[in-house]
Copies of this chain bind each other. A is one copy, B any other.
Amino acid sequence: MEKRIKLCMVGAGRVGKNHAQALTRHVPAAEIVALVDPAVEVRNATGEEFGIEKRDDTMEQAAEEIAFDAVVITTPTFTHKDLARQAAELGKHIFLEKPMAISIEECDQIIQACEENNVLLQLGFMRHFQPEFVEAARRIEAGEIGKPMLVKSLTHGPGLPPAWARDLQMSNGMLAEVNSHDWDAVRWLMGSNYSRVYAEVANLKGEKFNIDAPDFYDTALVSIRFESGSLGTFSGVCPCEYGYDARMEIVGDKGIMQIGEMKGQSIITCTNRDQGLISPIFRTWPQRFAWGYIYELEHFVQCVQTGEQPLVTGNDGRWAVAGVLAGTKSFQEERPVYLNEILN
């Protein structure tokens, strides 16, 4: 067996805990040796829960005190560039959560730092490892539905985002925080980069939730023309009342494919014929993508063991950020925006 990989978790919040759980229960090839988070209480709670004894304010501190091979960064987006560069300079391989960063410049700096320091970089687009998406990609590649012509995607998530994630300046807002996965997945499955983007957004729940950020929106609809000439669209809704919903649908010139569904556990009940049949829905993203999280981390650990390039790269993260920026510019200027306005 390959040697066990030592990891430092950077970020002890919701996503950090999800990944710590996947790693400690389902990725025996990895060992979490340190947990970094400046928020002491959060760090201690997460450390306690997963039996991580080494806990620090900063990655540098951790690196001085304990040996590790790689970092798993799950902190807010605006911290990614600095943290990823630090990790690269420390010679640590990097698993970096989405969105990659706030701007194309930041993405480029991260990519460059990883290249210069010869460390691996994997972006946290776990859909590439979620079994039904993997199988769908395989079939599309094999030509099952012909040339992809039209893709539809959606990510609707429960839970009001934290204040920083509602602030366009700090986070690029919902198009980044919720829909990064859609930006990435439509590009992946269509096998083509975006050429132009049109976005409509709406603030329909801000008042209900007393959100006074002037540029807040909770509902988004993005329209994409791909370089291949094909078309795409996706929606974002957050907070979403009815559950965690992530589905895709692709029409090719030979057929249609649907990936994912709302239904969670396979239980159907009916106790009232006026109400009808009831089935569980996916309530949360950790439920919805349970295997995706396990497999993406397993993949990362394996890449660190073997030196292979991860399947999901900095370039994938950069394209998703480019989409976010084009979409944001589009709804702000109320016009379609070309990707070459963003990337040049």
* A residues with CB within 8 A of B: 1, 24-26, 28, 51, 131-132, 135-136, 139, 144-147, 149-150, 152, 156, 158, 198, 200-202, 204-205, 208, 219-221, 223, 225, 229-233, 235, 237, 240-245, 251, 253-281, 283, 334-336
Number of copies of this chain that the complex holds: 4
Contacts of A277 in B (CB 8 A): 262-263, 278-281
Q: How far is the CB of A299 from chain B (nearest CB, A)?
A: 13
Are B266 and A261 in contact, with the CB atoms below 8 A?
Answer: yes
Known pairs A255-B270, A256-B242, A283-B273; A51 contacts B1 (CB<8 A): yes
Assembly CA distance A41 to B308 (angstroms): 33
* Residues of chain B with a CB closer than 8 A to A225's CB: 200, 202
A231 near B219: Cβ-Cβ < 8 Å? yes
Given A265-B131, A265-B135; A150-B219 close (CB under 8 Å): yes
Give me 15 other A-B pairs in contact (C-beta within 8 A), A259-B266, A335-B335 excluded.
Answer: A132-B265, A145-B271, A147-B204, A149-B202, A150-B219, A152-B152, A156-B256, A198-B223, A233-B233, A240-B251, A242-B251, A245-B256, A264-B276, A273-B281, A276-B278
Contact partners of A136 in chain B: CB under 8 A: 267
Q: Report the bound CA distance from A165 to B204 in whole Å.
A: 39
